[in-house]
Amino acid sequence: MLEKNKEIIFVALSEPINIKNNIYGDIIKELSKRFRIIHVICLGNEGNRIDHKVIFHSFPLQKWPNIFRKFSWKRVCAILITDFFVGGIISRRYATKWNIPLIYRCGGPWKYELNNPIKIIKALILKITKPLVLKSCQQVVYNSKAIVQTEISHHYDIVYNGVDTTLFKPTSMKKRTNKLNVLYIGRMLPEKGLDYLFKAVKGLEGDVHLGLIGDGKLLLRYKEKHPLAEFYGRIPKVEIPKIISQYDLVVLPSLVESFPNVLLEAMACGKPVIATNIFGIPEMIIDGVNGYLVPPKSYQSIKKTILRFVKEPELIITMGKEARRIVEEKFEKEKQMKKLEKALFKHQD
């Protein structure tokens, strides 16, 4: 059994600010109820930083082995990983060396479009690391059925993400404009499919206002290329519900996504969603009930669906109510976090 006076290592290929603002932050809060100290090994150049019971070890990837070597491993009782790529393979080495459980919470499909040499190399590395990591894990928990690695024998459960329904809730606020207000939430990266969203709203400027929350390497380029869109940049999580409430619907045109919390957050605010029909997204969206599913890379489908809301604004209300009902029924955060903790540590309790 895992003891409360023990420490756990949490490994994430992300930076501290992103960890705090996404589901990793919720998982770490849950871990803090169970362990004395949570060591978060993550990306960045910040060094070591203590935040209550959490110690962030924020370093470039090549320095991660040095971080592991500095731990008093006798106090560490498990390593929780979030990838079966480089972070997973490094963690596997030390879990084996220290003879402690390696546990994996998988929140993405880890698929690469093979359109450049770097992605091809990553895909080849993944073919080697994935089976090694999965077969070494005492337990794996996936956040959707669609991303389960069924071709490799391993112990796993499926627990959907959850959303804070007290923070994200329907609120009456003045609309951003008198047009159909469409919002995107997420990073400004190629795999998010934003080029297809911009193409979809081109020519609809008289009927549609587009807002975008998030930052990323393409933010400046998009700002210059699409001056009529409203860019909010990075927004603290607690402020996002206020912005969602000013919009009519949320669109996520991603090309690679497992079970995105931004859709759950929009649904919790009583907003219908439009999203690509990929991986775990159909497990949260019932097409035509709480939103619409569109094919990836199809700006024509996104445009057609947006125009449907323009012509039938009553759908915003009816679908929004269904969206909230579905979240309350299946994706409430506290319930899902309890399920996740139980699934992650089922072999230790």
**Contact at 8 Å (CB) between 169 and 235?**
no
Say how far apart CA 164 and CA 349 lie, in whole Å. 27
Residue 1 placed within a domain: no
Domain count, the chain: 2
State whether 233 and 138 are in the same domain: no
Residue 185 placed within a domain: yes
Pairing of strands 230-233, 249-252: unpaired
State whether 155 and 17 are in the same domain: yes
Written as six digits, the tokens of 141 are 């928990």
Residue 111 placed within a domain: yes
pLDDT given at position 281: 98
Written as six digits, the tokens of 11 are 């490994």
State whether 145 and 188 are in the same domain: no
Q: Give tens-digit pLDDT for 50-81.
A: 988 999 999 999 999 999 999 988 899 999 99
Written as six digits, the tokens of 311 are 């012509």
State whether 220 and 297 are in the same domain: yes
Residue 171 placed within a domain: no
State whether 154 and 11 are in the same domain: yes
State whether 189 and 147 are in the same domain: no
State whether 302 and 338 are in the same domain: no
State whether 71 and 153 are in the same domain: yes
State whether 226 and 79 are in the same domain: no
State whether 125 and 191 are in the same domain: no
Residue 274 placed within a domain: yes
Helices and strands (H and E) in the chain: how many: 12, 14
**Contact at 8 Å (CB) between 112 and 135?**
no
Say how far apart CA 112 and CA 298 lie, in whole Å. 19
Q: Collect the ranges in the chain with pLDDT lower than 50.
A: none
Residue 47 placed within a domain: yes
pLDDT given at position 2: 58
Residue span of the structural domain in which 122 resides: 7-162+333-344
State whether 52 and 156 are in the same domain: yes
**Contact at 8 Å (CB) between 168 and 323?**
no
Phi-psi region of 267 (alpha: psi -120 to 50; beta: other; left: phi over 0): alpha
CATH of residue 214's domain is 3.40.50.2000
State whether 254 and 282 are in the same domain: yes
Residue 169 placed within a domain: no
Residue 173 placed within a domain: no
